[in-house]
């Protein structure tokens, strides 16, 4: 059974977005499933055309393309296309499209620059990806389609900035600062996309060595959902966690290895730690300090404890860490605060002692 999720794959991101190539899918597929590929058409206005009873499809598409007043180019989703119309469409170098046909079209693959995908066998006929590390990273680090679309749109926005600099200044002196959000091993792919989308030639630039090689690095994971789980679990628990996070950074992390946003934004810092320092999860010694709530000095109540226990379970943290705080009475901290002090306030659970202390203070005020 076909689903739209079948097409949310690194290969289709590479073909449609980065390579800016047309795609032919056969045999028939429902339009709603075909339309899942629209997520990779950022930078275009999309138009659907059902070619079932159309005999002059190429002329219609060419006319529509020329008569459009949109500032963005048009991307066509063409379905129920016969072989004759398909060949005419693919002969045009100016049309960007995804075409679906119910016919077997393997015999015309060599006559076109488009990529052909056999939906039934789930194989590309004329496409062998070279390096999809960037595409895999983008998709794997996106929790849902909305997040994926945002990441693709960010690349398009960056491309627009770089294109404007090339167009206005004729050079790319600010390239490094513009691309700093991405690993340098991905820079060539971004620059290649800009050349293909805007049909320009980017001046030669001296890229870092790592950007001149194919990327074989393991893509960084996105632990934002894990961080959000912590932050939304309980306000007091979250406040203590953020304080401890920055404390851990100052003691155990070389600031030179961090980007500016990782120094000041706890979510960015957490992602860095989980990728580089805490690959197996939040370490037990950090959890033990967290359970003490010593930075904010907040006294956990029973509801807080329940929230904490549930959170640790969701984070797959050994329950023994939580039991350390469970074994400590809630008011024990207050008792410790006032030990060995002549003016200490007795804990309220020792009510008689607490009452005598209050009366004594009232007498002192009266005198």
pLDDT at 89: 85
Report the run of H or E that residue 241 belongs to, with start and end.
helix 235-252
pTM (predicted TM-score): 0.56
Q: Are strands 45-50 and 23-26 parallel, antiparallel or unpaired?
A: unpaired
pLDDT at 345: 63
Chain centroid to CA 236: 27
pLDDT means over runs of 10, the chain (367 residues) = 70 96 91 90 91 79 67 89 87 87 86 88 88 91 89 94 78 76 89 90 64 52 91 90 89 76 81 90 88 83 87 80 49 40 55 69 62
CB 125 within 8 A of CB 106: yes
Q: Are strands 123-124 and 115-118 parallel, antiparallel or unpaired?
A: antiparallel
Q: Are strands 115-118 and 23-26 parallel, antiparallel or unpaired?
A: parallel
pLDDT at 300: 81
What are residue 118's DSSP bridge partners? 26, 123
341 in the Ramachandran plot: left (φ > 0), alpha (ψ -120 to 50) or beta? beta
3-state helix/strand/coil string of 287-319: HHHHHHCCCCCCCCCHHHHHHHHHHHHHCCCCH
Q: Give the number of other CB atoms < 10 A from CB of residue 4.
A: 17
Q: Which long-range contacts (CB under 8 A, 24 or more apart) does 289-297 make?
A: 289/244, 290/237, 290/240, 290/241, 290/244, 291/321, 291/322, 291/324, 291/325, 292/325, 293/236, 293/237, 293/240, 295/240, 295/243, 295/244, 295/247, 296/236, 296/239, 296/240, 296/243, 297/333
Q: Give the number of other CB atoms < 10 A from CB of residue 352.
A: 8
Tokens encoding 66: 């020329």
Is residue 187 exposed (0-12), middle (13-18) or buried (19+ Cβ within 10 Å)?
buried
Q: Set out the domains of the chain in order of their start, with CATH numbers.
A: 4-124 (3.40.50), 133-211 (no CATH), 224-330 (no CATH), 335-366 (no CATH)
pLDDT at 350: 63
């Amino acid at each position: 059974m076909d689903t739209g999720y079948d097409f949310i794959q690194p290969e289709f991101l590479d073909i449609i977005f980065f390579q800016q190539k047309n795609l032919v899918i056969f045999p028939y597929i429902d339009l709603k499933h075909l339309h899942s590929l629209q997520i990779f058409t950022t930078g275009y206005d999309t138009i659907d055309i059902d070619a079932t009873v159309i005999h002059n499809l190429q002329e219609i598409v060419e006319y529509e393309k020329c008569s459009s007043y949109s500032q963005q180019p048009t991307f066509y989703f063409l379905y129920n296309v016969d072989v004759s119309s398909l060949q005419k469409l693919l002969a045009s170098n100016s049309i960007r499209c995804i075409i679906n046909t119910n016919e077997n079209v393997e015999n015309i693959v060599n006559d076109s620059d488009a990529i052909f995908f056999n939906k039934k066998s789930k194989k590309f006929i004329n496409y062998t990806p070279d390096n999809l590390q960037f595409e895999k990273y983008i998709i794997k680090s996106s929790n849902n389609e909305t997040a994926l679309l945002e990441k693709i749109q960010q690349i398009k926005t960056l491309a627009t900035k770089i294109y404007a600099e090339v167009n206005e200044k004729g050079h790319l002196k600010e390239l490094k600062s513009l691309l700093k959000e991405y690993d340098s091993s991905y820079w060539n792919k971004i620059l290649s996309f800009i050349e293909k989308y805007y049909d320009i030639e980017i001046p030669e630039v001296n890229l870092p060595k790592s950007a001149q090689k194919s990327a074989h690095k393991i893509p960084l994971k996105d632990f934002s959902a894990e961080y959000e789980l912590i932050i939304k679990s309980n306000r007091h628990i979250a406040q203590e966690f953020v304080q401890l996070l920055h404390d851990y950074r100052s003691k155990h992390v070389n600031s030179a290895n961090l980007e500016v946003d990782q120094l000041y934004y706890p979510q960015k810092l957490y992602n860095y730690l989980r990728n580089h320092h805490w690959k197996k999860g939040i370490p037990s010694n950090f959890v033990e300090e967290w359970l003490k709530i010593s930075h904010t000095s907040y006294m956990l109540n029973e509801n807080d404890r329940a929230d904490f226990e549930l959170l640790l379970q969701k984070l797959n943290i050994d329950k023994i860490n939580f039991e350390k705080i469970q074994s400590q009475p809630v008011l024990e901290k207050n008792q410790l605060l006032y030990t060995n002090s002549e003016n200490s306030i007795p804990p309220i659970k020792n009510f008689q002692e607490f009452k005598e202390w209050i009366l004594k203070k009232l007498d002192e005020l009266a005198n």
